[in-house]
A and B are shown apart, each in its own frame.
Chain A
Amino acid sequence: MSNKVIGSSVNRLDAVAKVTGKAKYADDFFERDMLIGKVLRSPYAHAIIKNIDISKAKALPGVEAVLTHNDLPKIQFATAGHPWSLDPSHRDVEDRLILTDKARFVGDSIAAVVAKDVLTAEKALKLIEIEYEVLPHVLEPEEAIKPGAPVIHSEKPDNIISSFGPEFGDVESDFNNAFHVFEGKYETSIVQHCQLENQTAFSYTDTDGRIVIVSSTQIPHIVRRIVGQALGISWGKIRVIKPYIGGGFGNKQDVIVEPLVVAMSLAVNGRPVRYALTREECFIGTRTRHAMKFEFKTAVSKEGKLIAVSINALSNNGAYASHGHSIIMSASSKFRPLYNFKSIKVTPKTVYTNLPTAGAMRAYGVPQIFFALESHLDDIALKLNLDPIEFRKQNLINVGHVDPLTKVKVRSFGILECIEKGKELIKWDEKKKNYEKQSGDKKKGIGMACFSYFSGTHPVSLELAGARIVMNQDGSIQLQVGATEIGQGSDTALAQMAADVLGISFDMVHVISCQDTDITPFDTGAYASRQTFVAGAAVKKAALEVRKKILTIASKKVGLNIDELDIIDANIIEKNLGSIVCSLEDVAMESYYDRINASPITSDTSVNIRTNAPAYGVTFAEVEVDMKTGKIEVLEIYNVHDSGVIINPKLAEGQVHGGVSMGLGYALSEQMLFDKETGKPLNNNLLDYKLQTILDTPKIGVSFVDTYDAGGSFGQKSLGENPTISPAPAIRNAVFNATGVAFNKIPMNPQAVFEKFKEVGLL
């Protein structure tokens, strides 16, 4: 294993295909006789559907089918992209129908039309007549949990999906004995992924009578299961194909359009039907990030040691459970392997409201909790008159730390190096001093925040991944993985691993990127920053098997034990002498054509990873605040990560750029808004939803520290979601440093800053 493809910045496998437009996305496929599906969405936040008259819509020429809940199986199902659990108590909440029989938010899917084109479908939607009985609605979780609040799902009369939270140590006694107790309230807003490609899928019945779905999804194998469950179809009858994907960020870790597009196609005898969301629909009809409200109470010793923390959290889940409670559970476990609290208690409530459904979004609840925690720590540091960095440093855990609840063990811990590097990059000490006394309309400040995150979902969920390798006659390979490339670059990273193990060059690895549940190995998909970590282990296992087969053939040629042999640059080498035994191609040819021993070299493996590897990082930010207009500009921002061994530095840097950009929007501008009176979305488009543009984005500095985690197959840890966690609190802390104003709610957009400045008397 000496090719050193790992750690080099090879170009992405799909770079040329994407740049030249050759890469085909779900909407680039056309089937003969394809029809278009469209959905009628509820104009009311909460209403009983008393009657639906579809006769006029059905009579419109060009309309092939009209569907309502009456035409579909009455099966309640869950949409979250989690591995299935054999344990019924560990399953997601089954609370929705493909087309609903009660409207629970503005945008809920009520009826569907299949027609010859979009215009006809849209005309038909207007002809559907619905009689509603409008019910009172509730948008805020603290209102939803009050007695007498409107009941959104009859199965949960208190609107609480779950209130289970983790606890260890003796919180009560730690607070009783505490020298200092600090309290703080923090709040985040509803934001959305805004992945470039909206949800879209088409479906048809193939010549064998099986259902084919081509979908823009992060989780093809889970789509197959959930479509089967939602429609009561045997899973093996369903085939899901994932072509190139234009991003997901968790929004496609949920099964949203697929059951309906299958129902649409089945309603027209299996003719191909496409159901593609518009951006406006995508904003309300898919998933959002949970808005959370936190109440922190923290016990600190006389010496400034963190002793105990008690966190009350309210999570606004919107109208359907989706990932529901697992988001806040993720938040409450992933922040733990960082600071050395003796006791922790999290008391969460995940609550139904009449808003679009919240689900998985990059870092799964963790940006929310770290916004609160890292803001809180700066607030405490100021009160204790401690340097915020020193305060954090004196409270870190140590390598070897084991979480008392999850039993996750910290085997590598590069946070200190991250902090030191970040300090240097931003010139912390120098700027800190320079900004002490400022006058004028504009004030500058610096701030930082740390985070911890997991690699995959162990021990909460199954972590299974498959890989398959077929060696060709020339020694190159096809690599098939169950891991889903959605733009993050996993195919490239996994190919690098295979090349490294097999001693071949990167371009000798051909990755079959398109996922097809009929063909590709089983894997639950792209989420939880798991693929490089979990699928990486599968690729290593498959490649090692192939390597062993190659060396076994070669060893027979020279009569040496396989341990004496190596593969370097596609040649079999005698390790001791460094001499070439034969080429890899010779071995491959023998494996295909030897008259006696021929047996092509392949492997087909799966791993079940039962470990985790916490990853770490920091953001350092410098801001300039216009004290008169309230506008905040980020002048410099640096993310420094401990993600173990970096497989591809260029791709890793790209991940960080994207994640930080998302964090900038989270901190400063993004927010989904709803009319309080009606629950209607106000800004479900990219003009009014202030996603940051490239001109709003400062140069993003990226750095990694050298660590090796024994839990990773190549020493690697997670990176995908991580970069988006700490920018918001770092920016908030920089604004705090610049202005002395503690913002406890994001986004800090100009209007919000103006109001806060008024409140504290600065304006």
Chain B
Amino acid sequence: MYNITNILEPITLNEALRMYSDNPKLKIIAGGSDVLIQLNHGKFDDVELLSLRKIKNLNNISLLEDGTISIGAMSSFSNTFRNEIINKYLPVLTEAAVSMGGPQIRNMATIGGNICNGAVSADSAPTLFSYNAFLKLVSIDNIRMVPINDFYDGPGRVKLQPGEILTEILITKENYHKMTGNYIKFSNREAMDIAMLSVAVICNVENGVFNDLRISLGVSAPTPIRCYDAENYAKGKSFSKETIETIGQYAKKSAKARNSWRGSKAYREHLINILSQRAIKEAIKRAGGKC
């Protein structure tokens, strides 16, 4: 049952920041699809909520003058995967967003909530890692920009300072321009499931060679991770069968998968190897390449 003692519903960001700074014990609620579940499962006894839902413009998606794409933290998964800018420039994010939950959850759940909840299985995370996204974190007296790769702290933990609200996710032009990619969510079910393992690949290929390759994994370590060794190995190499197999091996090595009743370490590592290769091949195919 939900023991909600109070809910504050500011209509401007400033108002929200002031309330939050006055009472850092407030629990932020966006779509509520994690917060309410946690409340129901007794993670908090009682709680005073600070809702971001009534704040205008926090769900905007826009293309800035310098080509940077800005995604409002309150943009729902439905709003995200249906957005023209996202579809045109960040198709891998579309792929990730539509793989999430089911229609009702995608309507409620926000990208910001997905990131701030800190789950290793968050469907937006691997893709945003591979796009080198920045997070704009705002508090009453500060604004900071943090690469998403530095934001995660551990399972369910992110580096939000007291009083901080995530307002935007930013992806600069050089990080998506002339890139193709693929997101693979591996789960038991085709809908309403969390990833058992996920891989997001973004790459730039030319004449059969990797100019740039970024591989990120979900549910492979205590946080979502990038596979830098694999990426560095790939750069400048032509995409032969052997290269791709070696990349798969490297990806597997960067992971810190563990045994759980949801899946064994051995199986997860096997999947990392197989699925990162598949995602790379698909990304190459989408770039018009052959491998």
Contacts and interface: CB of A to CB of B under 8 A. Distances in A.
Q: How large is the interface on B (under 10, 10 to 19, 20 to 34, 35 or more residues)?
A: 20 to 34
Interface in B249-291: 261-264, 266-267, 270-271, 274-275
Contacts of A693: 102, 189-193
A687 interface: yes
Contact of A122 (B1, B102, B190): B1
Nearest to A631: B186
A353 B45 CA distance: 34
B193 A690 contact: yes
Given A628-B274, A682-B261, A754-B270, A749 B189 contact: no
A162 interface: no
B240 interface: no
A695 B189 contact: yes
Contacts of A675: 261
Contacts of A694: 191
Given A690-B188, A693-B102, A749-B188, A118 B193 contact: no
A695 B262 contact: no
Interface string A685-700: 0111010111110000
Contacts of A682: 261
A628 B267 CA distance: 11
B3 A669 contact: no
A673 B267 CA distance: 18
Nearest to B263: A751
Given A629-B274, A693-B190, A693-B191, A751 B3 contact: no
A692 B191 CA distance: 9
B194 interface: yes
A134 interface: no
B194 A687 contact: yes
Given A629-B275, A754-B267, A118 B189 contact: no
A569 B5 CA distance: 63
A118 to B, nearest CB: 4
Interface in A119-161: 119, 122
A687 B263 CA distance: 15
B270 A119 contact: no
Contacts of A1: none
B186 A629 contact: yes
Interface in B165-192: 186, 188-192
A487 interface: no
Nearest to A750: B188
A683 B189 CA distance: 15
B193 A687 contact: yes
B264 A751 contact: yes
Contacts of A758: 266
Contacts of A628: 274
Given A629-B271, A687-B194, A119 B3 contact: yes
Interface string A658-674: 00000000000100010
A675 B262 CA distance: 12
A763 B270 contact: yes
A263 B274 CA distance: 57
Contacts of A688: 262
Contacts of B192: 686-687, 693
A359 B263 CA distance: 29
Interface in B78-110: 102
Contacts of B189: 669, 690, 692-693, 695-696
Contacts of B270: 754, 763
Contacts of B262: 688
A694 B193 CA distance: 13
Given A686-B192, A690-B193, A763-B270, 18 more contacts: A119-B1, A122-B1, A629-B275, A631-B186, A675-B261, A683-B261, A687-B193, A687-B194, A693-B189, A693-B191, A693-B192, A693-B193, A749-B188, A750-B186, A750-B188, A750-B196, A751-B263, A754-B267
7 contacts: A631-B186, A687-B192, A690-B193, A692-B189, A696-B189, A750-B196, A763-B270
